[in-house]
Amino acid sequence: MAKAIFVGEFRSRLDEKGRMVFPSDFKAQLTLLEHKSLVVKKNLYHKSLSLYTLEAWEKESEKMKESLNLYNKEDAEIWNEFMRNRAIVTPDEKTGRILIPRHLLEKIEAIKEMVFVGADDSISLWAAEIYDNTYMSDEEYAALVAKRLGNSKSS
């Protein structure tokens, strides 16, 4: 089975209806897949949206569901929240545009310019102003990597 790998950063203008041009490099990756739709979901930690292929979303939601006991009240609440703020979207083959539901765009303060960021098996979608102010410095990134991975053993 083919797998899409999304790499790169692409900017696009948001129109008044919530449509924007979907990056052609990402569209080419979708052509490798049986299903051309994406699940769009509000990111848990950042003011961004995550776009998953249907296959990647299935793995993501299964992983979450398997880690929960849905007969436990807190776990059931986690599952319910996990299922909120998502939609299925499909890039238009003719126009190359994608329509993101307005309520999801509002959650990330989308105004005009958007940034699509390839994250291997998913895509992050940011309002450009927020994305441009989210970078870690090289020093902060190096320190975080050293802290998290510096003591791990390589095989």
Tell me which of 2 and 93 has the higher pLDDT: 93
Tell me the pLDDT band of 154, cut-offs 50, 70 and 90: low
Task: Give me the pLDDT at residue 12, please.
Answer: 96
Q: How many helices (H) and strands (E) does the chain have?
A: 6, 8
Tell me the pLDDT band of 89, cut-offs 50, 70 and 90: very high
Amino acid, res. 51: L
Task: Give me the pLDDT at residue 101, please.
Answer: 94
Which residues, 6+ apart, have CB-to-CB distance to 4 below 8 Å? 29, 30, 32, 33, 53, 121
Tell me which of 35 and 12 has the higher pLDDT: 12
Instruction: Please state, in angstroms and as integers, the Cα–Cα distance from residue 93 to each residue in 17, 35, 37, 61, 98, following that order.
Output: 18, 13, 11, 27, 9
Task: Give me the pLDDT at residue 150, please.
Answer: 82
Would you say residue 128 has pLDDT above 90? Answer: yes
pLDDT per position as a tens digit, 21-75: 999 999 999 888 888 899 999 999 999 999 999 999 999 999 999 999 999 999 9
Would you say residue 152 has pLDDT above 80? Answer: no
Which residues, 6+ apart, have CB-to-CB distance to 34 below 8 Å? 1
The CATH architecture one would assign to domain 9-149 is 3-Layer(aba) Sandwich (3.40)
Would you say residue 80 has pLDDT above 80? Answer: yes
Task: Give me the pLDDT at residue 26, please.
Answer: 92
- Please report how many Cα atoms fall inside a 13 Å half-sphere around the Cα of residue 108, on the Cβ side: 33
If one counts every other C-beta atom within 10 angstroms of the C-beta of residue 131, the result is 22
Tokens 């999304």 correspond to 6
Tell me the pLDDT band of 155, cut-offs 50, 70 and 90: very low
